[in-house]
Amino acid sequence: MIQKLILILAALTLTASAGDWTNWRGPNHNGTTTASGLPVKFSKTENIAWKTPMPGPSAATPIILGDRVFVSSTDPKAKELLALCLDRRTGKEIWRRVVGAGYQLDNRSNYASPSPVTDGEGVTFFYGNGDLATFDLNGKKLWAKKIQAEENGFAFQWTFSSSPLLHDGILYLQILQRNTGVRGHGKANGNESYLLALNPKTGKQLWKHNRPSNAKAESLEAFSTPMPFTHNGRKELVIVGGDCLTGHNPKTGKELWRWGTWNPSRIGHWRLVPSPAAGGGVILACAPKGSPVYAVKAGANGEGKLAWKSEGRKDAVTSDVCTPLFYGGNFYVVYGEARDKMISCIAPDTGKIHWSTHLESRAKFRASPTAADGKIYLQNHAGEAFVVDAKKGTVLHRTMLGEKGDDLTRACVAIAGGQLFIRTNGALYCVGR
């Protein structure tokens, strides 16, 4: 009887966790989940469970754990960086905490661009000015610290943004920055790029691994997020930036392999935004500014091997900002910068294009696509949400959730259970009843 009860409780726990979205790229770290029964058609008034105003804009993707929703935000008037917890059933605010002071470094983004992350016990918020804090689920602060405060902040041309990763009991932060100061930020010389591991319960540093690079100037800067990856039983962390792709031992940070570069002439203004994406035996690195997507063979030791590369803007398989999606055995790459905004479905083994769809949007796309239930979800800078058929590439639905004049909307669509969580500049929508 006791054994039967344990099995029932275990099944209930698994069912509950299948309805969560606990980090930026979801439970599988590739933009997907197994949710079903997801909505196709919705609007500001149709098929909406609730809508909650946000204190200010943020590019952070909301995360969902059980009956709670966590989201980073800003308060532009008070110049504060906020951590919010909402009731998933109603959208009502449960708690709000001020994590730091400040708003933005430039007019293209703000400090609340990194997404929060949770392991089910605590929830961690990180901001582009270096503020880092972890709370329990009821909002009690467990610890807080400032990353790189003694070095006058991060050495980036634009506002730094990389989401924290919480995986297998370790909290990871990736800081890939230029080696010289810029715009009064960072040390004048000798800034290091590194992967940092912390104890998520205390904030204590476990290790710090420096990551050298031959890149120059702004090309040393990366806004990507580490990706946990397992291939043939070997666990690793994959990070991309500084003109190269590397795999690391998640327990020590030691570099296992390296591939690069997409920048052999060492152009100095090729900052990198898209995070790595893996599937089908390869790992993708997206070179910036209309350049190709590179597929590196998984399982490398020492020197990585290239499997294939796209033709870049010529064949529509390129991404300057959006992280690719791996879903149903295929990669989906969004190019949202040019006049013809495109989403392309490509085979992981060869890079063959199965289909490419013009999204016919005047606004740029800089939110990474997510998928479940045979559908791909994404939104553009104006806060217009798109639903695309994953097999055919057909645009099934598009609707404007943003307000007139909105721009720079970049939060990904989070998927949990049978609902979508869509953050615009001014509100968080829960779509699907």
Spell 145-177 as b/e; 16+ CB within 10 A means b. eebbeebebbbbbbbbbbbbbbbeebbbbbbbb
Model confidence over 303-346: pLDDT tens digits? 999 999 999 998 889 999 999 999 999 999 999 998 889 999 99
From residue 389, give the alpha-carbon distance in Å to each of 346, 366, 392.
14, 20, 6
285: left (phi over 0), alpha (psi -120 to 50) or beta: beta
Please, is 96 exposed, middle or buried when counting C-beta atoms within 10 Å of its C-beta (0-12, 13-18, 19+)? middle
pLDDT at 16: 37
Average pLDDT of span 125-147: 97
Structural tokens at position 406: 């909105």
pLDDT at 9: 37
Q: Flag whether pLDDT at 371 surpasses 70.
A: yes
SS3 4: helix
Q: Flag whether pLDDT at 248 surpasses 70.
A: yes
In 177-323, alpha helices (H): none
SS3 17: helix
Distance (Å, whole) CA 63 – CA 116: 7
pLDDT at 105: 82
Q: 20 near 60, Cβ under 8 Å?
A: no
End-to-end CA distance of the chain: 36
Give the CA dihedral 427, 428, 431, 433, nearest 10 degrees.
-110
Distance (Å, whole) CA 197 – CA 145: 14
Model confidence over 271-293: pLDDT tens digits? 999 999 999 999 999 999 999 99
From residue 423, give the alpha-carbon distance in Å to each of 115, 258, 337, 413.
12, 36, 21, 7
Model confidence over 152-167: pLDDT tens digits? 899 999 999 999 999 9
pLDDT at 13: 38
Q: Which of 9-23, 41-55, 80-94, 356-370 has the lowest mean pLDDT?
A: 9-23
Nearest to 85 by CA among 75, 76, 97: 97
From residue 274, give the alpha-carbon distance in Å to each of 230, 317, 388.
20, 13, 21
Mean pLDDT of the chain: 94
pLDDT at 19: 87
